[in-house]
Structure formats: structure tokens, C-alpha cells
Amino acid sequence: MSSSLLHLLLLLLFFFFFFSPNTTFSSPLSTIAISHLTNTTIICALLPGASTAHDLNCTGFPGGAVRSYPSAPGASYSAIAAGNGYLCALSSLSLNTSINVMRWWDFTQRPPFDSKKVYTGPELDTLASGDAHVCGLRADTGQLSCWRWRELYVPPDLRFKDIAVGGDFLCGLLDCGDVQCFGGSSGGQVLPGNFNQVAAGTRHACAISVYGELHCWGSGAPISGVPLAKDVQAVALGEKNSTCALHSNGTVVCFGDGLKLPGDLVNEPFMTIEAKGHAFCGVLRSNYSLMCWGSSLFLGKHLVYKKALPAPCKPRSTCTCGLVPDSQDVCHDGVICEQCGLQLRVSQPPPSQSPPPPPPPPSPPPPPPPTPKTNLNTTKAGGGGGGGTKRRIIIFIVIGSVGVAVCLAAITCYVLYQLSKKSGRIHDSGRMNRAERSRSIEDRPELPTDRRLTALLSKGHGSYIEEFTLQALLAATNGFAKDNKVGSGSYGTVYRANLSDGRKVAIKRAEARASTSSSRPPTRGKDKEFAFLSELALLSRVNHKNLVRLLGYCVEHHERVLVYEFLTNGSLHDHLHKLDSSPLSSWASRLRVALDAARGIEYLHTYAVPPIIHRDIKSSNILLDDSWTTKVSDFGHSLMSLDDEPSPHGVPPNGGDGGVHGSRVLSSPEPHGEERRL
């Protein structure tokens, strides 16, 4: 009985963790900043330093002049912000990290490299800048502070979760999910909704809902009754209505004022993006390089820094959604936490009606109120901060939602518990002989593939993979012609293919399942099915430069196909055993290949959430791309820790307890009953 209660408790926790729409999509502290002077655009970034402190470097365009701004002794930079002619840097003291110091550089003064201390006080967890102003939120109270902006008035009792600063206005995200703007012509108007992030450009602003929908308003912003984009993680706004949106799969889409993302960056996954004026910049996920576009200054060269911090470094213990791969290489005393929005997708449908946009914010700022007390009372009476009726409605909605969620979770748990008792799951952790394993595979309940795919993708595994049609893959491989065949294995055959959009890919096609009159498919067919679903589940949740990238899949009739990036230089096995001469003949090259493969395996074991054990590492599963970067492939025999994630069938592939058993380097993958030459 205690075991069943534990299962029910875990399932309830799983339900509320994965299906709660309130996830954090981006860091409120930026490590990239853009400043504009009359004829110069300055790109600033925090770079990995030789010591524990990060380097603050700025590069001017055109010309490429580089200037470094060292931190004060005993302090290290944690965030930066900039605007027209100025730069601000936030640092924390090594002896007391709860105290922040902010310095201000005025590029219009001579000399332009002298700074002034404008803030020393409690830690700030949010920092936002506009054309001429900077504002921040205290980490302990959420209280708003602004610098060099005396004419702005915000009721002191308001507390914000996020803020954004535009040309002459500020927008803040309230605890209830509404957005309220101040300054300009906004007059304290409220944009009702259910938002979790807000951003501002020079003359327009945008907010991202908890469902990943992008809504924009203000002078020059597109007017529409539907969201401008969906599945959005972050947004960067520039001059006029130029906007770039960062999707949950890392790709960036730009629109407005003729803005387009450069062709060589279209399919590149980014970690963060920033904008100011006509300049847009972002840090690539693959190698942390800082790329810029939008302005004519970057037409010839997008690369500004080869390696930049995409987000502030934090202690490993604070990362709830995993670690960014190799982030310890750029963070000497911490890591960069993976954004939760990249792994979890909101499964609830968005509301059918979009909130109406408020009046455009920009215009000459209104005069300050006579006294704070008068304006504070007016705000309370007018409902700017939310009245009693609104709070009661929110309480009723929350209580009702929790009640419905608990009922659904209880029903789901009961059904799953009854199914688990009937499925005959084996809990003996001891080793079995080959005949027993074969019988355990045959006894597994065979669920329809579509249902299992839906279960996998609904948990966030399908955030960046594409579903291909069989017709498209037939056209790309000339009907799976032998001329396109590049290899084969126990799972099936691998083909070289050219998609209609020009991409060169590798297609792994499972062997056709033997026809049978029985309601149960043969054991080998179930092995193929399990390998297909296992590899799809694993590769769709990982992203590392030393792991082969899964682009998509196809499930039609009896076809089970996986589509990968094509690696032009083949496998390590070919270079070791088949080729007479190889660029990998030197010890330096072989060491580089070994280190790359080790980094990929280390990511699976250490940084993937939950950890993944490959179990079939061998030279034929080590592939090389056109730049001789090593990538680990073939995840059909891999295992995840079942304490964190169920297998695609709901049954461990070895019929045992589902624990992590170590990487099988020198033995065949016995759980699948096959003999494979290593």
C-alpha cells in the first residue's frame, strides 16, 4: 500500500511540475549591451576572464576599436545595460554577494572612460535600460529604483516581477500577470492578461504570455487581434517596430521595418538576444559566440566576440532545469543555468481572445504629481494596482483551477495505477537469461505508436524536432534507392538525402516489420519500435555540439524513420579500419576525437536531466562532421534514470528495475537479444 501511495504522490508532483504554465523564460539580468553615439555603435559584453572576475569589453563600429573596463578590486561584474551614449555595469562584492554596486560610464564626456558610482545597496535581480534611463528591481522586496529619471512617477506600493524601459516610458509586470506602463502618454494604463515577461523598444513594447504568445502595442507596432508569434521564449525590440523573437527551440525570427535575420544565422540556435536602435545581437548556443545584425555596420561581419557569457553565472545548486553544456568553461566559480522555457512547453491551450492593446506609450512625459500621497490614493481607487474585486476573482480562479487539477490528477493516477497492476511489470533487479528477456519483451503491452509519440512530445520533447511526411523522404532518397545507402545496422538502414529546402540529411529507416496474423507483433519488431521511440525521446531532449543532432521523424503506416544532420566525414571506424590514409592518423587528431567524444558522453552522464547512459559506445557510432568535430550517435540502446523519466513503453527495456547500469563498451547490448560486432 505504501508503494502505491508513493506512486500517486510522485505522479501528482509530476503533474503540477510539468503542466504549470508559470515558467521563467529568460534571465532578467543581461550580459550584453548596445550603446549608440552620433556615428558609432558600441557593442559591450561580459567575456570569460583569466581569473574569477569576468572581463567587460566594448567594441565600436565602424572601426572595431576595443576598450576594456576592469572591475574594482574585490568585485566581479554580474550584469550590464546601456543606451544612447552611456553604459552601466552591475557588480557584486566577493565578501558580501548580497550587496550590489553599479557604475555609470558617460561616452559623451571627455575622457569617456571615467565612471561614476550611482548605486550601492541591496542586490538587484532585474536591470533594464532605455535610450536614456536605467531601472532595477530589488531582489528582496521587488521595489523599483530608477536612475537619472526624476520626472518618472510610479506608485511606491507597486511591486513588479519584470520591467522594461523604452524611449521615455517604463512597463512593469504585476504579480497578477497584468502589464502596467508609466511615462510617455501611457498614464498608468493597464494591459490585462496572463503574462510572464515584458520588453520595450524606443516607441513600442511587447509582452509574452504564459502560453508563449507575443503581444505588442505602441507607436508603429503592428495592430492585430491575434498574437504576432507563438512559442516565444524571449523578445528584443529596436527602433520603430523592428522586433526579433527567440523561440523555445533557440531559433530567431525577425520582423518589422524591413528587418530580417541573416541567412547564415536562420537555423542557428541562440541562447539570448538583445537590441537597441537598429542593432540586434545574440549569443549562439553552439559555441557562445556573439553575433550582431540589423545595422549596415554588420553586413560584412556578424561576429563580434568569439566567446561571451549568455547569462550571469550562478551556483550549481540554484539550477532547477539543468545546466548549459560546458558552461563551467566560461564560469570560473559557477555555471549557467538552462532556461526552463527551453525544456518545458505549456500544454494548456491559449485563451481564445487576445487582450486589447493599451494606448501607445511614447509621447512627452506627463508632469509629476503634486504629492505622492494624492497619486497613490488615486491609483488605489482607480484600480491601477488591482482592487479588492479583482483580487477576489483571482482567488476564485486559483482555487477552482487547483481543485480541477487535483481531481484530474487523482483520476489519472487511479487509471495508471490500475493499468500498472495489469501490465505484469517485473521488478526483479537480477540478471536474466536470454530466453527470459525475450519473454519479457513479448509480454510488454503494445500501445499504439501515435499515443506514445503524443505522450513523449506533450512533455516538451518535441520543441525543436520536425515531423516529415513519407512522401517527402521518398523524394529526398529517390525512393530509398541503393545509391543513397551509406550504411546499415541492427536498427535498419541509413541513407543520404537532400531535402527540398536544400538541407543535406541522414535518414535512418527501420527494417519493415514482418507481417503476422497475430495481434502481437514479433519480438524483433517490438525491439525496433522501442529503439525508435527511445532514440526519439532521448535525442529530442539533448543539445550538445558533440552529439549528433536529430532534425525530425516520420511515422506513417509501418515506416519508422529518424532524420539527422548529415556528417560528411563518416565514422571513426572507417578512418581506423577501412581508409588507407586519414587526417586522423596523427596522435593530436586522435586525441581531439577522443576528447570530443568524452565531452559528449560527459554531457549525457552529468548535465542531461535526467542522466542518460548510452550503452553502445563504439567506433562506428562516433561520427565526424565537415570540420572534423566528433559527435556521438545511435541512442537506440540508451537508458534514462527511471526515477526521473519513464521509458517510452512504461517498462524498462531490460525487463529489470530500470536503473542506470553503466556504459556497455565491451559487451553487446544484451537486453535486445542481438549479437553485434564491436
CA distances, 268 to each of 214, 262, 304 (Å): 21, 10, 16
The length of the chain, given as a count of residues = 678
DSSP state of 626: T
> Is residue 18 within a helix (H) or strand (E), and if so which, with residue range?
helix 2-19
Q: Is 508 among the annotated ligand-binding positions?
A: yes
Instruction: Encode burial over 613-630: b for 16+ CB neighbours within 10 A, e otherwise.
Output: bbbbbbebbbbbbeeebb
The number of CA neighbours under 13 Å toward the Cβ of 551 is 17
Please give the grid coordinates belonging to residue 105: 560610464
Burial of 581 (0-12, 13-18, 19+ CB in 10 A): exposed
For the question of residue 140 being annotated catalytic, the response is no
At 323, phi and psi to the nearest 5? -110, 150
Question: Count of CB atoms within 10 A of residue 65's CB?
Answer: 11
**608 contacts 322 by C-beta, under 8 angstroms:** yes
Question: Which residues, 6+ apart, have CB-to-CB distance to 456 below 8 Å?
Answer: 462, 533, 536, 537, 540, 648
DSSP codes of every residue in 150-200: TT----TT--EEEEEE-SSEEEEEETTS-EEEEETT-TT-EE-S-EEEEEE
**Cα–Cα distance measured from residue 27 to residue 40, given in angstroms and rounded to the nearest whole number:** 28
Sign for the CA dihedral angle at 35, 40, 41, 42 comes to: negative
As a whole number of Å, the end-to-end CA separation of the chain is 45
* 131: three-class secondary structure by DSSP: coil
**Cα–Cα distance measured from residue 107 to residue 20, given in angstroms and rounded to the nearest whole number:** 45
User: Residues 333, 616, 634, 643: which is the catalytic one?
Assistant: 616
> Is residue 134 within a helix (H) or strand (E), and if so which, with residue range?
strand 134-138
Please give the grid coordinates belonging to residue 127: 536591470
**Cα–Cα distance measured from residue 225 to residue 116, given in angstroms and rounded to the nearest whole number:** 46
Please give the grid coordinates belonging to residue 408: 484530474
Dihedral angle of Cα 593, 598, 600, 604, to the nearest 10 degrees: 160
Burial of 486 (0-12, 13-18, 19+ CB in 10 A): middle
> Is residue 577 within a helix (H) or strand (E), and if so which, with residue range?
helix 572-577
Binding residues: 508
Binding residues for ATP: 508
Catalytic residue numbers, as ranges: 616
